[in-house]
Amino acid sequence: MRYAGAGVTALACPAVAEMAERIASRRIPGSGERLPVIGLGNSSVFREGDVARSRDLLTLFMKHGGAYVDTSGRSRFTVGQFVREKNAHDRLFLGTYVGATDPHEMRKELASVQEAQGGGTLDLVVTRNIGDYVDDPWKYQRLKDAGVTRYVGVARHQARFYEPMMTLIEAGAVDFVQANYSLLEPEAEQRLLPMARDKGVAVVTNRPFINGEYFSIVRAHELPYWAVEFDCRSWAQFSLKFILSNPAVNCVLTETSNPEHAVDNLGAGLGLLPDEKTRQRMLDVMRQIA
């Protein structure tokens, strides 16, 4: 209830009302499929199984052009129920985490997610078990061969996992990698992101706000006046537009259960992005503040 007013206010804004037609998308390498650049992470309302608030959030997200939703654990079934009820398979792109590593248990686990979604092939199966993937990458690739999923990938959120990710990229064993990348954690742009782009692997980024730490840092500061030069209207968009200005990034995941914040995040997919000179200026600002 307390978020309902914020959602209505956002929908009343003319610029936001046009968002679904204008939000940017980028092509998945090796595929003609396009993915909107702002995604939705594993929101607390999904994890808690709050069907009503999840339905409201996902409806708003789709209305404004969003598609990628990251799901693990209980979230897979909360979001799956929405997909089944709304027949939203063609409007959402779901990243589904698999925890099992035994091939039989993997198929069994993913079959339960497929059933929750109403059947059919999954969009993307992701694992955090990156060591298992490196040891036997074709175990995951066989999920594609069996028609369980269209894409496979790995996801982690620490720089120490960049090397095994690059091993998998070099082997041609992944379609997607998901890694942390932001103004406060820019290390991925040194080697991981350029390699993924060169090898035709899609990149999804996480931790754009470092689990809220970013907002604690910027809260007492005014947004730089020159942010308007690249259509940036909030500190959230300042971070997201920096991330998206790296051409290797296909989609950045934001995690919120607040409709107003979700709309603000989606706004980062509109308008201009900073050029290289401005990117350096943004990094300088964050170094001074942090």
- Which residue from 213, 164, 163, 152 is spatially nearest to 185, judged by alpha carbons? 213
Residue 7 has pLDDT above 80, yes or no: no
The least confident of 41-45, 142-146, 238-242 is 41-45
Rounded to an integer, what distance in angstroms lies between the CA atom of residue 256 and that of residue 168? 30
Domain boundaries, the chain: 19-216+249-270
Residue 166 has pLDDT above 90, yes or no: yes
The CATH architecture of the domain made up of 19-216+249-270 is Alpha-Beta Barrel (3.20)
- Which residue from 196, 166, 202, 11 is spatially nearest to 93, judged by alpha carbons? 202
Residue 19 has pLDDT above 70, yes or no: no
- Report pLDDT digits (tens) over 68-78: 999 999 999 99
Residue 12 has pLDDT above 60, yes or no: no
The percent of residues above 70 in pLDDT, for the chain, comes to 92
The percent of residues above 90 in pLDDT, for the chain, comes to 91
Mean pLDDT over 202-209 rounds to 98
Average pLDDT, the chain: 92
- Tell me the pLDDT band of 161, cut-offs 50, 70 and 90: very high
- Report pLDDT digits (tens) over 228-239: 999 999 999 999
The reported pLDDT for the residue numbered 5 is 36
Mean pLDDT over 272-277 rounds to 98
The reported pLDDT for the residue numbered 3 is 30
- Which residue from 18, 25, 69, 17 is spatially nearest to 47, judged by alpha carbons? 69
Tokens for 16, please give them.
């936001």
